[in-house]
Structures are given as C-alpha cells and as structure tokens.
Amino acid sequence: MVDIYLGVGLRCTELAVFLQARGTVLQLLVIYVIVSTVPLGVGVYLLLAPRRGGNFLNDAFAIFPAVEPTARIKKLFYRALGIFLIGVSTFYIHQIYSNIVSPVEHYFQPKK
C-alpha cells in the first residue's frame, strides 16, 4: 500500500480511515439525536401544557388518565412526567457526547 502525504498533516490512509469513521459516527449521531429529541419535546409539552399533553396521551395511548380543567393532581403528575422526560433526554444527550462525540472530536479540530 502506498501512503500519499496530503500536505495537511494527514496521509491518504489516515484520511480514508477518518472519513469512514466519521460517516459511521454521524449516522449514529443522527439516530441518537432523534431519539433524544422525542422525550425532550414531549417533556416540554407536558411541562408547559399539562392538560393538553395529558389529554393527547390519553387519546393516543389510552393508558394515561384524561385531564379535566379542575384536576390539579393530574396536572401535577403530568408536569412531573414532563420533568422526568426532560431529564431522560438530558441523560441521552450526555451519553451521546461522552461515548460518541468526545472520543472522536480531536479528529474534527485543526492540527497545530
């Protein structure tokens, strides 16, 4: 195998390995970003509008109780569920950064 020096501190084989790894990492990153934004969106929706969010979950899945305008305990439950889902999303984002992004971020920084 012939190594070709590209003049920017990379040889051709190092560049090929970098590009292949980057493609795989970006595919995983897109999947994990989608997975982490769903609980974030639902959590914010439940936190800001617990009655609408609770009734949406009741209509969609029929396992959560319907929320009446005067049901304060159910609204509190849905707000707590929203905070929990935001925490789950934060955990996912932290795991994505610590396990996927930080081991390869030095490849994206310019060489000094």
- Report d(CA 42, CA 48) in Å as an integer: 10
39 versus 31: the higher-pLDDT residue is: 39
Per residue in 12-25, pLDDT (tens digit) is: 565 566 656 666 76
pLDDT at residue 8, rounded to an integer? 52
Per residue in 42-100, pLDDT (tens digit) is: 999 999 999 999 898 889 888 878 889 898 999 999 999 999 999 999 998 888 888 87
Instruction: Output the pTM of the full model.
Output: 0.67
Tell me if 6 sits within 8 A of 18, measured CB to CB.
no
Domain boundaries, the chain: 12-104
- HSE-up (13 A, CA, CB side) for residue 24: 7
pLDDT at residue 5, rounded to an integer? 47
